[in-house]
Structure 1
Amino acid sequence: MPPPARPGKWGDLSARFWSGVAMGVVGIGAILLGGVWFQMLVIFVTAVMVWECWIMIRGASPVSGMLVAAGVASVMAAQVFDGPETRQFLPLFLVAPLVGACVLPRERLTFAVFALAIQVAGWGLAHLRLDYGMTWLLWLVGLVVVTDIAGYFAGKALGGPKFWPAVSPKKTWAGTLAGWAAAAGVGAGVAALTPAGAGIVVLSVLLSFAGQMGDILESAFKRRQGVKDSSALIPGHGGLFDRFDALLGAALALLLVAGVAGLPGGPS
């Protein structure tokens, strides 16, 4: 009996496409609706991503993992529902990292860094929607998505030299550069339609690179743990951490830019 046929290099495209469509509908719908709908999505995604970090290190431990996720969800709810005045309670984001430092048998610092980064990024996205409106959030998500899509197709089709083979063996320079070009196109579109100016094109490319680094760092984390995906929640994509790692990097970079210089064009 012949062995089963191995999928080609595009074998995962169908699952990725339909899962991506479903996530896009939910995500864009929540962004457009704003308010409690987007806040609830942020809380859910943040808690699940921290849970995935936990189980990658500790393994299948449903009780401890769910307790950590519930704690993160509670902290996030306190932070995103009550407006900017809750910023004095931001130190609560240290609770999950400290729990990890006390309970996890290894990778304590790694978990602490990722858990803190995920919570801060989630808080930043919630307040980006509240303070700047949906336009800037759609721009951020859009440039992360087009970076991923352009990188996927260019990398698969063109191949070539690897971007950082020791950390992420599948990523190529062709895919990386295609992602930057796609992000620049998104920035150019925003510059043409808003008062943001040409600086948004440069910022789009920088955030595209930050998103790619978020993806690479998550890949390095998974390789250290000996796992392919952070979980199996999303067909063709793995877990939420696998899908939102680039948004995590881009959101943190945008928070830094907004905190130092504000966003081009200001709130919309």
Structure 2
Amino acid sequence: MAGGSDPDRWSDLRARLGSGAIMVGIGGLAVLAGGVWFQMLAVFATSVMVWELWTMIHRDRPTIGMLLAALVASVLSGFLTVDRSYFLVFLLIAPLIGGFVARRERVTFAAFALAIQIAGWGLVVFRGDYGVTWLFWLIVVVVVTDIAGYFAGKTFGGPKFWPKVSPKKTWSGTVAGWLAAGVVGIVFILLTPAGWWLVPVSMLLSFAGQMGDIAESALKRRMKVKDSSTLIPGHGGLFDRFDALLGASLFMLVAAVLFDLPRVAF
């Protein structure tokens, strides 16, 4: 069944566009600047997401301490000295502290907190090792996937992709995201020395981002919450907004281990 003419399905569009434009502006400037500016943005964002994770699990025990623990762990882990990869052991600080003091969902918190921080660290490494164009490609794929999925899902509706986990995500939106990512790959092929490998990789990256979104949706359903927080009008929290980017970053980190990414860098 098509999306129909119900105007309520577009009710959140204005708030999403406004807050989205602000995030794109801040994030774009940080990516362009690179260095400590992008690193500090990554530290702040991942730390807030770890705090949001904690508040989702412990709505009755929200604490600023988890935010501070994540901040300290991120800095110590090498976000600001990414050439010292052995500092990554400090990424265990927040997951271990949270897992120890949590009254429930200890493994859930530890696993998600660690994944968030590793993904954030990965983005910093990608910016430093592969350059601004490479990171912009990754971000654009994730953003375009989300936009295409949003409009296609709202317009066409249809069968749900995984109704038990993410009741709003449709197959039409999911496939539209893949196709849009493929188009992004083609555009970057035309603008950079990248080969045609970029099209299927862009589509795989799109799927990885969608799985990041699915993972957070599953967590929210498990915790019985609508959003990770209310920090961003129309979007919920930072975790809600960047779950797909985290999934994409983790996917590329795995790819970096399996393949020689510098050979296919722009």
The two structures have a TM-score, normalised by structure 2, of 0.94
Shift of 1:251: 0.4
Deviation at 1:263, TM superposition (A): 2.5
Matched-pair contact (CA < 8 Å) for 2:194–2:265: no
Name the counterpart of 2:102.
104
Give the structure 1 partner of residue 52 of structure 2.
Answer: 52
Correspondence for 1:220: 218
How does 1:112-261 map onto structure 2 within 5 Å? 112-261=110-259
Rounded to whole Å, the distance in 2 between the matches of 1:111 and 1:171 is: 24
Residues 14-33 of structure 1 aligned to structure 2 (within 5 Å): 14-33=14-33
Please report how far the alpha carbon of residue 99 of structure 1 lies from its aligned counterpart in structure 2 after TM superposition. Answer: 1.2
For 2:43, the equivalent position in structure 1 comes to: 43
Relative to 1, partners in 2 of residues 1:161 and 1:264: Cα closer, same or farther, differing over 3 Å? farther
| Contact 1:12 1:236 (C-alpha < 8 Å) held by counterparts | yes
Letter in 2 for 1:75: A
Q: 2:3 maps to what in 1?
A: none
Q: 2:73 aligns with which of 69, 72, 75?
A: 75
Separation of aligned partners in 1, 2:100 and 2:263: 45
- The offset of 1:259, in angstroms, is 2.1
CA displacement at 1:267 relative to structure 2: 4.6
Q: Note closer, same or farther for the CA distance 1:148–1:259 as it changes in structure 2 (3 Å cut).
A: same
Task: Tell me the CA shift for residue 61 of structure 1.
Answer: 3.1
In the TM superposition, residue 106 of structure 1 has moved relative to its aligned partner by: 1.0
SS at match of 2:261: coil
In 2, are the aligned partners of 1:222 and 1:230 still within 8 Å (CA)?
yes
Counterpart residue identity of residue 150, structure 2:
Y
Distance (Å, rounded) in 1 between the aligned partners of 2:188 and 2:262: 11
Q: Deviation at 1:265?
A: 4.6
State the secondary structure of the residue aligned to 1:18: helix
Matched residue SS, 1:227? coil
Question: Deviations 1:113-154 (Å, cap 9, x if unpaired)?
Answer: 110000100111001111111111100010000000000000
CA distance change for structure 1 residues 29 and 206 in 2, over 3 Å: closer, same or farther? same
Q: AA paired with 1:231?
A: S
Distance 1:122 1:160 in 2: 34
How far off its partner does 1:192 sit?
Answer: 1.9
- 2:15 maps to a residue whose letter is A
| Structure 2 residue aligned with 1:3 | none
Deviations 1:65-97 (A, max 9, x none): 32121121122123121231x211212111211
Q: Distance in 1 between matches of 2:37 and 2:87?
A: 22
- 1:199 and 1:264 in contact (8 A); partners too: no
- The one-letter code matched in structure 2 to 1:14 is R
Please state whether the residue corresponding to 1:231 is helix, strand or coil: coil
What percent identity do the matched residue pairs reach?
Answer: 59
Q: Which amino acid aligns with 2:85?
A: R
Partner Cα distance (2:60, 2:146) in 1 = 29
Query: Are 1:262 and 2:260 matched, yes or no?
Result: yes
Query: Take 1:17 and 1:76, find their aligned partners in 2: how far apart are those partners?
Result: 30
Listed as ranges, the gaps of 5+ residues in structure 2 are 1-5
User: What TM-score do you get using the length of structure 1 for normalisation?
Assistant: 0.94
Give the Cα–Cα distance (whole angstroms) in 2 for the partners of residues 267 and 179 of structure 1. 23
Distance 1:260 1:195 in 2: 22
Q: Which runs of 4+ in 1 moved over 6 A?
A: none
